[in-house]
Structure 1
Amino acid sequence: MTHLRRLALTCLLMLFLFANAVPRHAGAAAGALATFETSRWIEGWNAHDARALGELLTEDVDFVLVNGTLVHGRQDFARLDAQQFAGRYRNSVFRNDGTTDESFIRPDVAVVHWRWSISGVSNGDGSPARTYHGIFTWVLVKNGGIWAIRVAQNTITS
């Protein structure tokens, strides 16, 4: 009887562990998180709404801009973006340039990579800048059922 009890407990433990396992690379259905979040980013950017973009971030976000500036906190990020939207990014258009890749570290922590392009940016002299491309890396955290960007790295690739 002790052997059967031990076997049953082992099986229950294995069932619990595998039931709570999170796949390294999420499939198409799980990719919905990345698609939803990138869509929200693009909508906020293309509306030139720094406040809406800030709402996608945690209060204590760490965000590396394409120029290498590290921004700490939602308020500082929104303030910098508002300045950008009042200046050379006034007419900018952000696009998703391909598929998004998402991986779950835990059920409430995900890493998202996605490629983007931006056009409509002005150079310092007011002339149009070329369209450029990049990749975002986000660490998303889920708190109270809501996903938010906790860490972001934005890199220009061309």
Structure 2
Amino acid sequence: MKTRVGKILAIVVVFVAGPLAMSLARAAADNPTNSSAPEDEAAIKQVVAGFSEGWNNHDAHAMCASLADDVQWVSWRGEVSHSRKQVEDDHATLFAGLYKNSRRTDTVKAIRYLTPELASVDDFWSMTGAKMRDGTDWPYRAGYVNFLMAKRGGRWVIIVSHTADFNAKAPDPAR
């Protein structure tokens, strides 16, 4: 009798408890913490708003205020910067030239909390008033940026930024 109960128990574990545990583990892995305190969501959106405000004032220092010192920044052209200072210097040059009349609008589309202190932020952006490198008008641009933000010292900062420009053109293959 003991072996029969043991076999039944083993079957229950294999066919019921095992798959249940696997599906719960899979659900947890597929769905990281997607909710955090409301003040975190507001703070993250404020980081994006401050970035946009700095851009629209053509103030590279203000635009970069919420970037980590060791940010990894990948521009829409695929250029990589590894510090807030480098991003700030590059944008100061752009604001003095190609982007001096630009206006940018940012809309946070999604925030996914990977941990309570790490969030992936999807942001749709559009821009008017920019110039192309050849000096011609670039009347409208739009794209997506993914910010990876970390809560450091109680403050959300951008630690990684990857930007896509929907209007970007492929480089000339002859170059």
Counterpart in 1 of 2:14? Answer: none
DSSP 3-state at the match of 2:159: strand
Structure number with the higher helix fraction is 2
**Residue number among 76, 101, 107 corresponding to 2:86 in the alignment:** 76
Distance 2:108 2:151 in 1: 22
Distance 1:84 1:117 in 2: 17
Counterpart in 2 of 1:109? Answer: 118
Q: Please report how far the alpha carbon of residue 104 of structure 1 lies from its aligned counterpart in structure 2 after TM superposition.
A: 0.7
**Residue number among 22, 44, 57 corresponding to 2:54 in the alignment:** 44
Distance 1:143 1:48 in 2: 26
Distance 2:36 2:155 in 1: 21
Q: How does 1:57-136 map to 2 (within 5 A)?
A: 57-96=67-106, 98-136=107-145
| Percent pairwise identity | 29
Deviates more, 1:120-129 or 1:70-79: 120-129
Q: Please report how far the alpha carbon of residue 99 of structure 1 lies from its aligned counterpart in structure 2 after TM superposition.
A: 4.4
Give the partner amino acid of 2:67: L
Q: 1:151 to 1:103 in 2, by over 3 A?
A: same
Deviations 1:60-116 (A, max 9, x none): 0000001110111011110000000010100100002x4420011111111100111
Compare relative contact order (CA 8 Å, sep 6+) and give the higher one, 1 or 2.
1
Distance 1:33 1:25 in 2: 15
User: What is the TM-score normalised by the length of structure 1?
Assistant: 0.78
Unaligned runs of 5+ in 1: 1-21
Q: Cα RMSD over matched residues? A: 2.1
> Is 1:31–1:100's contact at 8 Å kept on the other side of the alignment?
no
Q: Please report how far the alpha carbon of residue 143 of structure 1 lies from its aligned counterpart in structure 2 after TM superposition.
A: 1.0
User: What is the TM-score normalised by the length of structure 2?
Assistant: 0.71
Distance 1:142 1:34 in 2: 9
Greater C-alpha Rg: 2
Unaligned runs of 5+ in 2: 1-30, 168-175
> Is 1:139–1:150's contact at 8 Å kept on the other side of the alignment?
yes
